[in-house]
């Protein structure tokens, strides 16, 4: 997968979200808008030299994404990412809790976010975030080992 393909796909998905919004399908429109954001997130990671397969592994990709945006001074973009995750993906698509007017505001804000993300892609293409990736993988490995040892410790306590 190429960066430009992901950017094009993100915009195509966002256009689909707007069509669903016109059809008053708020729930699916919100999820498409979120998918556009997620697709652009993958493009940013790819631009920063993260292999595409790794961009799909949320437990690895999200911490790396956080580090990239903070390193590039794009904390506002990161904050909005989590706002969209909460409002569009969780509260609207899964829970159906937000009213239509609020959802429309967030879906509209996605367009601005996508433009900003494209600017970040240009900055991200000048860095190599593979060290972030390796640190996250090492941290996850240690965490897994700790959890495994914790289970072993618990089993010993039960035997006592």
Mean pLDDT, all residues of the chain: 93
**From the candidate CATH numbers 2.50.20, 1.20.120, 1.25.40, 3.30.360, the one assigned to the domain spanning 3-129:** 1.20.120
Lowest mean pLDDT among 22-26, 64-68, 71-75: 22-26
Length of the chain: 160
Question: Of all residues in the chain, what percent carry a pLDDT higher than 90?
Answer: 75
Query: What are the residue ranges spanned by the domains of the chain?
Result: 3-129
Confidence of residue 155 (pLDDT cuts 50, 70, 90): confident
Of 55 and 149, more confident = 55
């Amino acid at each position: 997968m190429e960066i430009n393909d992901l950017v094009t796909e993100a915009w195509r998905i966002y256009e689909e979200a707007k069509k669903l919004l016109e059809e008053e399908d708020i729930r699916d429109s919100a999820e498409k808008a979120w998918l556009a954001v997620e697709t652009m997130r993958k493009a940013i990671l790819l631009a920063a030299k993260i292999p595409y397969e790794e961009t799909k592994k949320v437990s690895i990709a999200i911490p790396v994404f956080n580090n990239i945006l903070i390193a590039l001074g794009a904390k506002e973009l990161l904050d909005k990412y989590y706002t969209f995750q909460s409002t569009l993906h969780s509260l609207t698509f899964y829970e159906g809790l937000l009213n239509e007017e609020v959802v429309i505001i967030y879906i509209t804000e996605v367009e601005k976010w996508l433009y900003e993300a494209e600017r970040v892609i240009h900055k991200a293409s000048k860095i190599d975030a593979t060290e972030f990736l390796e640190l996250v993988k090492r941290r996850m490995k240690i965490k897994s080992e700790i959890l495994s040892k914790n289970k072993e410790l618990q089993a010993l306590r039960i035997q006592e």
